[in-house]
Structure 1
């Protein structure tokens, strides 16, 4: 009897991948190797190896990738300032390339011929996984069950029924049916009542943070130290990146910071509605932005804002392993050489606001910015500056005025001639 070929499945232990595992065995006869990444999901991975093996996997890898996730993916994101459509801090988007990268490595180690994921054919994750697979090992076959005509479990209700029939342990029920994705950076909530954008998110939806209505009536302050754009200390204490984010998640979550309700434009063309919690990430992005306003010159700061929009699009679209992202990182890293200093952030009733910033590389001068006269800035120089800066507008105004006069004169002549004719 021929030995079965191997496939590596990105396995979270959630509803979709729990039913996909036995389905791959039943439909294609693959030996399924499961891969799970610890990215800060809390206790979601508890007992996952045992569950995978009981459901039919031949083996199950579980890697703690939190440090790598923060240092190689989250920190570049923070330095870029990327935010998708003014609200989404890209928590799921930034994690998928790392998971897929490790999945490819396991496939190569195991001699697998294929890789699989549980993303649907309507979402963005299918693109993020598959672009990474294609980039890192084009020889691997990609199996995406939700896009397979043989896959009939195309609703969460059907998947739940399949799990019950095959005695697969799951947490989801038909009443508790939110689709969630959690890691160190955020948690997302989709589906169920959220599919109607008229429905307000209920208080019991939130996991990482309190509802704003239940946040403390007294603010908290945190101080974050950055070195070349990377957070290195929290409240004066040196910490690694994982600890900084975990601590800020706890403090920010207490104050309801980082809750975003967004109807966004998916890459595949449709709009979708998601509710996101990113307490620590919101604090860090707020602090980093405040420090950049102090340390970057005007032209660099303004151009970097344009880069941030492109960077967000690249991450959202799953193009992490792409030459343009690497090129943009080189530019961003250059801008971060002076982004060193301390930011104090106020946390209060769902908001994180910069409440103080200082840096040895500050370009802000109190003497120059003051309303008091000083030798560094002669206000009389502004006369010539404005005259030259406004010269194109002045010339345009002169031309428009002449043209307007000619038009007015022409109308007057036509009206006079018309009267004479009558």
Structure 2
């Protein structure tokens, strides 16, 4: 009788390395390791060999960077998504793509279950499992950190390190690791360890070795740099006149933004599971793109369309953060967002300097800004009659006057 097949979301770190061996041992199963290349760079080096040595029957390391940029990051940025006013959802938006590909591999390999190494306290467990539920409700999900037997066996990192050593698993982790890191094309997140104290100063010079994508604003160049971003229907399609695909745009902006110390955020956020957590994020390219996109919209998007879209930003952002990327309500919102972006076309010029992004010009062939109408000088077009404002103000003031009269009584 063929063994059960389990597809494991595998990073090569201590947790998923131990989980790989534990799944094989506990379930007497064939474990297929899957790693999504979504921009981790050197973190992917040697993963296939390591997974096979740890006991995987097969390893998938799939380059999903282009799909990630074009089908996940870009649509989310068109929506203006930002969680709790700061977080550009770098980790959140990667999880549905990983879940999607795991389901595809499970179907291809005839696997009946998928597994992940997300803890029972975090958001990622929800994001992975809601994605699988939406795409393949018949596939079982195994979450070892929610398994009492697993937690009893591994109450701390010391036990995991000892288990790895006993099973010949090569891990570089130590019990004194100061923080955890998650990297992809959009950002890097840092949490746990010393960062669990919200008074810990992540900007201090002594802590700068933590950062990967950016220099500190203090160490950024003393000379500002101008960058031009061209948009077509809400998507950035070129930088400084060079035509680029979404992946190339993100890579180029990460380099430019990181060079100038842009995109560092330190925040305490509300997890979906109910607790607050502190995270430090580096999102250099995404921060530049988010700023430029908003500037482009200011010139080309109808006021009421923008108000409607903006009224949905909190809802949209929460859906992404909580793992509802494949939910019908997110797809419905996305259709509205796509419609809103039809005229978001033109060029934005920004100036990057020591952690700051300054707008330095915007133009568009479909601009809604008419200087003849907006001018403080005589209006050559006669499109706006200032006398009309009298009736406009009187009508809008009517309810206020009535209310004032009632209050006066």
Normalised to the residue count of structure 2, the TM-score between the two structures is 0.96
Change (3 A) 1:154 1:94: farther
Match in the other structure for 2:54:
55
Alignment of 1:33-182 (within 5 A): 33-152=32-151, 153-182=154-183
Tell me the C-alpha RMSD between the 2 structures: 1.2
Q: How does 1:304-343 map to 2 (within 5 A)?
A: 304-343=309-348
Once the two structures are TM-superposed, the CA of residue 132 in structure 1 deviates from its matched residue by 0.9
CA positional deviation for 1:347? 1.0
Quote the offset at 1:157 in angstroms: 4.0
Please give the secondary structure, in 1, of the residue aligned with 2:59. strand
Deviation at 1:185, TM superposition (A): 0.6
- Deviation at residue 270 of structure 1 after TM alignment: 0.1
Q: Which has the larger radius of gyration?
A: 1
Give the whole-Å Cα distance in 1 for the aligned partners of 2:149 and 2:236.
48
Deviation readout 1:122-147 (Å, 9 max, x if unpaired): 00000000011111111111100000
3-state SS in 1 of match to 2:23: helix
2:251 maps to what in 1? 246
1:146–1:154 CA contact under 8 A, matched in 2: no
Structure 1: tracts of 5 or more residues without a match:
404-422
Distance in structure 2 (CA, Å) of the matches to 1:338 and 1:330 = 15
| Deviation larger for 300-309 or 281-290 | 300-309
2:383 paired with 1:384: no
Cα distance, 1:167 vs structure 2: 2.9
1:235 corresponds to? 240
- The offset of 1:310, in angstroms, is 1.2
How far the C-alpha of 1:32 sits from its partner, in A, is: 0.5
Partner of 2:12: 13
Q: Conserved in 1, the CA contact under 8 Å of 2:268 and 2:277? A: yes
Q: How many residues are matched?
A: 401
Aligned-partner SS, 1:313? helix
Query: Is this contact kept in 1: 2:316–2:333, CA < 8 A?
Result: yes
Q: Indicate if the aligned counterparts of 1:225 and 1:341 stay in contact, CA closer than 8 A.
A: yes
Is the Cα–Cα contact under 8 Å of residues 188 and 274 in structure 1 kept in the other structure? yes
Q: Distance in 2 between matches of 1:32 and 1:352?
A: 47
1:399 aligns with 2:406: yes
Cα offsets for 1:310-363 (capped at 9, x unmatched)? 111111010111111111111111111000000111111112232211111111
2:355 matched to which residue of 1?
Answer: 350
Distance 1:338 1:51, change over 3 A: same
Q: 1:265 to 1:246 in 2, by over 3 A?
A: same
Question: C-alpha separation between the residues in 2 aligned to 1:331 and 1:76?
Answer: 11
**1:373 aligned counterpart, secondary structure:** coil
Structure 1 distance, partners of 2:155, 2:313, is 36
Aligned residue number for residue 261 of structure 1: 266
Unpaired segments ≥5 residues, structure 2: none
Q: TM-score, normalised by structure 1?
A: 0.93
